[in-house]
Amino acid sequence: MIAAASECRVSLPPVIEYDADRADLPLVVVPVSIPSMTTLLRDRLDEFAGLARVRIHTDWTDDEDVLAARMSDATVVMSTGFRASARLLERIAGRVRCITFCGTGAVSFIDLEAARRLGITICNAVHYGDNAVAEHAIALMFEHTHRVGELNARTHQGGWPGADITELSGRTLGIIGLGGIGRRVSRLAHGIGLRLLVWDRHPDAAELAALNAESAATMDEVFSRADIVSLHLALNDATRGIIGPAQLDLMRPGALLVNTARAELIEPGAMLRRLSRGDIAAAIDVTAPEPLPDDDPLRTLPNLIITPHVAWRSDRALAALVEQNVRSAVEFLKGGAYNVLV
């Protein structure tokens, strides 16, 4: 994760400690953080009173040795998005009994099978950023059709760059997955005037009727009929790689693929190969791997809009995320359970 420019102005000490002298209490560690989350966590430290000491490291590192050292004395770890491989979990197992994850897609960051084998409880957060991610998906659609960011950058560089734009209203938006985020995208899109074509394993007839949305019999139908396809599936064993060349080849020339869910929903290499033909476009907030290497060929595609996995990072979403993570940690320390995934 990369701190936003506004965050770089925040001055924080390297480590924030709470009740550090209470050696009789278990230790909760935040091994890495970003400034916006650090300040929110700091404001909720009193919720650990009498339950635990807390240590927040306010910098960011991907170094596994550093992470392992920082978590070596912890009973509970609050993760703000570092990668927890099986090897790292094995290094901290025995001491660390619970990891609370800052999001819904823990499977992309934590080896859940290893955690289960090692007896480490994993908690996640749910629905904290449904609106934030939905708005970002719509923003990506607008950037593709109205090109606001591109035209702003070009105008700042000089001259008066003219350009034609396209309207979203009246086009068909295909929604793959009608969970919390998919529903919110559908409602926003309905307000804009998009026609809705939805594929979901368990379609909600009342919800579809309220949105005047059409239910697609298959996922392939969405790819073949929609002007825009927006992905909103959770990543799991059943959905990993669920979209491949067969689906992407169904997209009509001029169509747009939007992905604010998980990059791993798409078969590795399939999107690059399809976009390289030049007749469709994509707008994504997620990549595999993350961060995306500077020399990754996706960066060279003119028909691809990329944002660096920031859709979840609105002010309200971050506050809800921290609230859920703190609650998960507190409940675990009390012997209870909240948002337990493993």
Report in angstroms the alpha-carbon separations of 205 from 111, 134, 196. Answer: 36, 21, 13
Crossing angle of helices 130-146 and 315-333, rounded to 10°: 150
Specify whether 277 is catalytic. Answer: no
Supply 285's token pair: 């907030």
Q: Which of 57, 262, 274, 327 is catalytic?
A: 262
Q: Provide the CA 4 distance to its chain's centre, in angstroms.
A: 16
Cα separation, 161 vs 169, in Å, equals 25
Reference 103, options 86, 119, 80; nearest CA is 80
For residue 77, the cross-strand partners are 29, 99
Cα separation, 263 vs 292, in Å, equals 11
Report in angstroms the alpha-carbon separations of 64 from 58, 120, 121, 292. Answer: 16, 18, 20, 19
Specify whether 144 is catalytic. Answer: no
Please answer whether residues 179 and 198 qualify as being in contact, where contact means their C-beta atoms are separated by less than 8 angstroms.
Answer: no
- DSSP state, residue 216: P
Q: Which of 57, 144, 309, 313 is catalytic?
A: 309
Specify whether 83 is catalytic. Answer: no
Cα separation, 194 vs 178, in Å, equals 16
Q: Which of 47, 64, 267, 290 is catalytic?
A: 290
Give catalytic residues, as residue numbers: 262, 290, 309
